């Protein structure tokens, strides 16, 4: 149902993971996804997680506003997912 694209050039940088709907085959697709991943070191202070979360949100929003993404997602609902890892933990995983 999706073409998973890693490091897709969007005119505003590179999306970590873009799940591009295969609209040419499945014209009734309703959803598409951008996933932005960030990593903090285990020893980083907790404020670093929030800094990375804010960076990821800004990047996901910037990517979503590009013509490349808008054309690819068509009329689907674009979900922007932000994930921040700290060491082996995942303190942030949210849709923005």
Please, what are the domains in the chain? 2-95 (3.40.1350)
pLDDT range class, residue 10, cuts 50, 70, 90: low
> Quick count: other Cβ atoms within 10 Å of Cβ 74?
14
Q: What is the mean pLDDT of the chain?
A: 91
Residue 13: per-residue pLDDT: 61
Q: Is the pLDDT of residue 47 over 60?
A: yes
pLDDT range class, residue 8, cuts 50, 70, 90: low
Which residues lie across from 52 on neighbouring strands?
none
Q: Which residue has the tokens 């990821």?
A: 56
Q: Is the pLDDT of residue 9 over 60?
A: no
pLDDT range class, residue 6, cuts 50, 70, 90: confident
Residue 34 to residue 37: CA distance in whole angstroms: 10
Residue 19 to residue 17: CA distance in whole angstroms: 6
Q: Is the pLDDT of residue 50 over 60?
A: yes
Least Cα distance to 21 among 35, 5, 6 occurs for 5
Residue 55: per-residue pLDDT: 95
Residue 35 to residue 59: CA distance in whole angstroms: 10
């Amino acid at each position: 149902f999706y073409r998973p694209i890693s490091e897709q050039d969007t005119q505003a940088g590179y999306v970590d993971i873009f799940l591009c709907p295969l609209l040419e085959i499945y014209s009734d697709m309703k959803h598409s996804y951008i996933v932005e991943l960030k990593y903090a070191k285990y020893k980083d202070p907790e404020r670093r997680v929030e800094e990375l979360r804010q960076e990821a949100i800004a990047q996901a929003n910037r990517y979503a506003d590009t013509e490349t993404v808008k054309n690819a997602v068509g009329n689907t609902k674009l979900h922007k997912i932000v994930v921040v890892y700290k060491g082996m933990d995942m303190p942030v995983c949210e849709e923005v």
